[in-house]
Each structure stands twice: as C-alpha cells, then as structure tokens.
C-alpha cells in the first residue's frame, strides 16, 4: 500500500542546515575583511609529523639518563664524601669592612691613612695618623668596629668621635661588603665566594697646610710652657673662600692613642687633665675678647652716624660718672693709659678705652650706641653666633644685655657702666677664636660673612656669603686704623714686618677676681693692600704682667712663613 503520509512528512520535515552563499565557496584574501596572514588566516592546517614526537621523546630520555647517572655518582660513587662534607663543613658569612678614605693636606702630606697589620685577625685596616704634634684636635679620632666573644660584629662601622674624621665622615666612610666562606671540620678553608665587594671611602684633601699647622702649634705650645699660659689657639682663614689654612690647639690629645684605645693610663690622664686637651679651643673655647671688639664697635658707630671718623675725643686716662647716691664717690672707668686726643683711626691703633666707652654708652655731648645696637652689630659680624663650621660642637658665645644680666645676677638692672665694659669686650662678652676670624674676615673682604670650612678647592674661588650692610667708606676707615696699629706704633706694632703688610688689633682681657690672669688676643689680616687671609690668636689665662702673647705668636709664625711658605704672603 502506498504510504502517502511518509512522503508528505519528508517533504515538510524541518531542515537542519542552511544554503551556502557563493562568496563563501570562493573565499580568498580579496573578499575577507582584515585578512591577516600573520595570524594564520587563509592557511590550511597541517598535522605534526610523527618524527617530531620521536625526537622529543629521545631528548627527554637522554635528560633522564644523564640525571640518573649524576644522581648515581653523587649517591653511590661520592656519597660518603658529600655526606661527610655536609655534616662537618660549615658556611660562614664574613663582613668585609670597607677601608675609610685617606686624608691629605693641601700641600700633599698624608695626614690620615690605613695600614693592615700582619698580626691582625680583624678584617679591617688600622687607622694611622700623622705623628707630628699639632694635628689631633683637627683630625680627631675614631672607634673601630667591635666583635663579641664569638667573633660576630655587633658594631659593624667605624665610629668617628671628633675632628675631620667626624666632619667628613659621609665622604670618608665606605660601604661594607660580604663574603661567604666554607670551612672544613678542622678549620681549613674549602671555598670562598664574595657576595658583595666592599666599596672604599673617598680620599679627601683638606685646606690645611701641614707645614703651617705644625709650626703654628709649635709656637703656641712653646710660649705656653715658657710663660705659663693654660692653653692657646690660633686660626688662619681665606677671606674670600672661607677655607681654613691652619687651626692649632694647645694642649691636645694623641689621635693614635685614642683610636687604638689600649693605653688606658694615658687616656685616663687626658680625662683628668684640668687644661682639657679634648677641647677644640678654636671652635668651642669661649673667651673674653677684650679690645679686639673695638673695630666692630667703630663700624657700628660710623654706620649709625654716632660719630665721624675725624671727631677728636681726649683720653686723660679715665672718665668719671657722678654717683647720685654718693656724690663723693663717682664711678670711674679707666683707660689702659693716657692716650690724649684721638680720632677713630688712632683710637683703634692705640686701643683707647675712653674713646670706645663714649661711643658705646655716650658721655657728655657724645651720644652712644647703647647696648641694643652694640649687640645687633656684634652679632651681625658673627660674634657669639655659631659659624656653621661644626653645628654640633661649636660654642655659641654671649653678648650681654639687660635680660642676660637680670637672669644671671639675681634680677639686677642694666647700668651705663655695663654698656661701657661691653663696648671694650669685657663684662660678660664671650666668643670663640673661629668667630673672631670670621668677623675680621668681614672687615678684610669688605662686607661678606663667610662659613669657614676645611674642604679644599684646588681652584681659588670667591664664596658667596651673607652680606653685611656696612658702607665701604666705613670699612676703609677701620682698615686704616688697624693698619696704623701695626705700622705707626700702635698696640699691634709687633706685627710690623717687611715681608708682608699686616693690619691688626690686639686685645687683653682681664680674668679672675683679682685680675691676676689675662687672655691675650690678636686679630688681623694680610696683605693689607689686597687681603687674602685673616687670623685670630688667643693665649689663654696667662700671668697679667707677662708681655708676650697672641701678637708674639703671630709674628713668629709670619717670620717663619716668610722663609718656608712665602706663597701665602704675596700681594697679588
């Protein structure tokens, strides 16, 4: 029987495919948008050859065979050797302490260096210092890295304690390294491997001339022993760059002894010495300056128009102030001698106290600066202020004023006599030799306050410092007065030498309740016509009747420099 419904059902059965378009039959790169052959579009897939699998399988088999052979060698052939090595050999990390940089003087002398001792077990080099006296407070000392009883370092760095070792530590210090050492059970080294090599510290050349430094110290030391000064200090500075040419301190410790740390008896004697050899007197010694402040008072008076350079003030040896409470007992302020009529230049040259009493506090028809302006100008020249050379160890100093007196003298009021005595560098005035040389450098260079430094610049330069607002004409007046003090029979006549023209100012500050001791100062600069270097010397706490002091020291040094280092004295 004919199946009518079967045909019918096939005819209307739903299709599970679609018609193929002509453009899909003739597909090529021309009718396929964004056809990219680099992504294998338009390419036929091809099966991987059986040879590839064979090669890959052989390579894997070879690797396995080599591994098994090596494993057998380690475990069977050399097993006992490596077992013994693993059980008995030790790996130890060794700290490689970096050597510090060497310090040279500007004239090429080696001041500090490193030296390896043949008998030394430590991994660092020993620090050695120049043996010539006069350098220890300048160079300082350090403490070596320290180990415990097991040989492990609990202090891994050199620890600088003073001087250039401390100031320049960031430059001198190197970077430690690390080494891995394998040792056998009997202590023999099996292998060594440097994991990180040490980096040496940088070498430094400082601005100090080693020959001048040594001679400066020698002269100060000899005079102290000869006369009985408790100590002394001297500094010479470039008035344009701030570079320190010499910085001598007496007494001093020994850098080598302090660094080695083994001579406990000698170290103990340093600490027990009442003259304090650890005190760097140039930067931290505070001294009553006496008359070396007078050039700065003169500049203040000129700038404030308190007086003209030509005005005459007569010194009869003293001035008297009436005592309102006891008219029969006036207050008397003495000059160090009868100086007669003096103008400003001569007053500086002969160091007339009466002249500076009057311009400081006023007298009769002569107005005075007053303590506030005195303090302002002295601080303007850097006196009683840290110079920036060593912010941590520098002493600041004191310029007294009413608040200072009230605090230190049980609320007492400020009187005119306090202003007089401050005006001649007495009473509570305290400064350092470094502040003194910075201040006189401002006079020498005509108005630039410098930051002193021991870093040496091979090419001479003029450093930009802080400007001091003083008219150049006023500077010239004071310079002329300081020059007259040397070459016209003034208080600094001891510096009058044919080898170099010097401008100077002396100061004698009385000490003690009975005024039986003095600090003997001298400041100045040279050559006068074209200043290059300023200087300050203080001989500390000597007998009042002694005639030798700071001026003698500087004259001896200038005479020595004339023969041995004349290049610094040339007027160029």
- Looking at residue 179, its pLDDT comes to 78
Q: Which of 156, 174, 205 is the last residue of a domain?
A: 205
Considering only 113-122, 356-365, 523-532, which range has the smallest mean pLDDT? 113-122
- Can you give the length of the chain in residues? 572
Q: Which domain holds residue 167?
A: 92-205
| Residue 110 burial (CB count, 10 A) | 14
Q: What is the CA radius of gyration of the chain?
A: 42
Question: 448 to each of 235, 327, 399, how far by Cα in Å?
Answer: 18, 48, 21
Question: Would you say residue 41 lies in a domain?
Answer: no
Assigned domain for 61 exists: no
What's the DSSP call for residue 501?
-
Domain stops at, among 205, 238, 253: 205
Tokens 């088999």, residue? Answer: 61
The residues that bridge with 244 in the sheet, in sequence order, are 237
At 7, is the pLDDT very low, low, confident or very high (cuts 50, 70, 90)?
A: very low
Residue of 323, 327, 356 lying closest to 427 (CA atoms): 356
Average pLDDT over the chain reads 87
Structure confidence at residue 446 (pLDDT)? 95
Q: What is the reported pLDDT for 290?
A: 94
Q: What is the secondary structure of 174-224 as a DSSP string?
A: -B-EEEEEEE-TTS-EEEEEEEE--BPPPPEEBS--HHHHHHHHHHHHHHI
Is residue 217 domain-shared with residue 260, that is, in the same domain?
Answer: yes
Which uninterrupted H or E stretch holds 365? none
User: Does the residue 36 lie in any domain?
Assistant: no
Question: Are 343 and 485 members of one domain?
Answer: yes
User: Nearest 5 degrees, angle CA 128-CA 130-CA 134?
Assistant: 135
Of the candidates 82, 60, 58, 86, the one whose C-alpha atom is nearest the C-alpha of residue 71 is: 82
Q: Supply the pLDDT for residue 34.
A: 54
Tens-digit pLDDT profile for residues 37-55: 555 555 555 666 777 678 8
Banded model confidence at residue 12, pLDDT cuts 50, 70, 90: very low
**Preceding peptide of 398 cis, ω within 30°:** no
CATH number at residue 484: 3.40.710.10
Which distant-in-sequence residues (6+ apart) come within 8 Å of 69 by Cβ?
Answer: none
Same-domain check for residues 174 and 216? no
Are 197 and 220 found together in one domain? no
Residue 223: CB atoms within 10 A of its CB come to 23
Last residue of a domain, one of 171, 205, 239: 205
Whichever domain contains 189, its CATH number is 3.90.1310.10
With respect to residue 492, please indicate whether it lies within any of the assigned structural domains: yes
């Amino acid at each position: 029987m004919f199946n009518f419904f079967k045909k019918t059902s096939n005819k209307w059965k739903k299709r599970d495919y679609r018609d193929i378009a002509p453009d899909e039959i003739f597909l090529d790169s021309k009718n396929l948008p964004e056809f990219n052959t680099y992504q294998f579009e338009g390419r036929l897939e091809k099966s991987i050859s059986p040879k590839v699998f064979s090669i890959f399988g052989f390579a894997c088999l070879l690797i396995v065979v080599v591994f098994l052979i090596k494993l057998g060698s380690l475990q069977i052939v050399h097993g006992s050797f490596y077992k013994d090595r693993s059980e008995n050999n030790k790996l130890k990390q060794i700290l490689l302490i970096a050597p510090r940089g060497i310090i040279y003087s500007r004239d090429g002398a080696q001041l500090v260096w490193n030296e390896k001792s043949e008998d030394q077990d430590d991994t660092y080099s020993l620090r050695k210092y120049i043996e010539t006296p006069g350098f220890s407070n300048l160079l300082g000392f350090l403490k070596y890295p320290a180990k415990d009883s097991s040989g492990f370092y609990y202090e891994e760095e050199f620890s600088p304690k003073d001087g250039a070792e401390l100031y320049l530590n960031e430059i001198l210090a190197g970077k430690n390294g690390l080494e891995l050492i394998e040792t056998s059970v009997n202590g023999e080294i099996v292998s060594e491997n440097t994991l990180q090599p040490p980096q040496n510290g940088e070498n430094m050349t400082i601005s100090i001339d080693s020959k001048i430094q040594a001679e400066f110290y020698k002269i100060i030391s000899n005079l102290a022993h000869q006369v009985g000064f408790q100590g002394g200090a001297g500094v010479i500075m470039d008035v344009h760059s701030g570079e320190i040419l010499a910085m001598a301190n007496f007494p001093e410790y020994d850098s080598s002894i302090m660094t080695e740390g083994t001579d406990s008896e000698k170290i103990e004697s340093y600490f027990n010495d009442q003259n304090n050899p650890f005190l760097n007197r140039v930067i931290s010694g505070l001294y009553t300056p006496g008359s070396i402040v007078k050039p700065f008072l003169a500049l203040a008076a000129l700038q404030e128009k308190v007086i003209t350079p030509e005005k005459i003030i007569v010194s009869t040896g003293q001035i008297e102030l009436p005592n309102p409470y006891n008219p029969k007992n006036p207050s008397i302020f003495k000059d160090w001698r009868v100086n007669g009529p003096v103008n400003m230049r001569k007053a500086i040259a002969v160091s007339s106290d009466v002249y500076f009493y009057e311009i400081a506090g006023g007298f009769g028809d002569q107005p005075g600066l007053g303590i506030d302006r005195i303090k302002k100008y002295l601080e303007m020249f850097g006196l009683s202020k840290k110079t920036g050379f060593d912010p941590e160890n520098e002493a600041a100093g004191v310029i007294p004023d009413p608040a200072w007196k009230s605090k230190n003298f049980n609320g007492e009021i400020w009187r005119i006599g306090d202003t007089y005595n401050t005006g001649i560098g007495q009473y509570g005035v305290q400064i350092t030799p470094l502040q003194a040389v910075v201040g006189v450098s401002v006079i020498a260079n005509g108005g630039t306050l410098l930051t002193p430094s021991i870093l040496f610049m091979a090419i001479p330069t003029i450093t930009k410092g802080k400007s001091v607002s003083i008219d150049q004409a006023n500077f010239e007046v004071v310079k002329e007065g300081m020059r007259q003090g040397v070459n016209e029979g003034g208080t600094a006549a001891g510096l009058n030498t044919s080898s170099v023209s010097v401008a100077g100012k002396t100061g004698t500050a009385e000490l003690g309740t009975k005024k039986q001791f003095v600090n003997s100062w001298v400041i100045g600069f040279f050559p006068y016509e074209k200043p290059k270097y300023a200087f300050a010397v203080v001989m500390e706490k000597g007998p009042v009747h002694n005639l030798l002091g700071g001026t003698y020291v500087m004259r001896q040094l200038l005479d020595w420099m004339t023969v041995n280092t004349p290049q610094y004295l040339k007027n160029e």
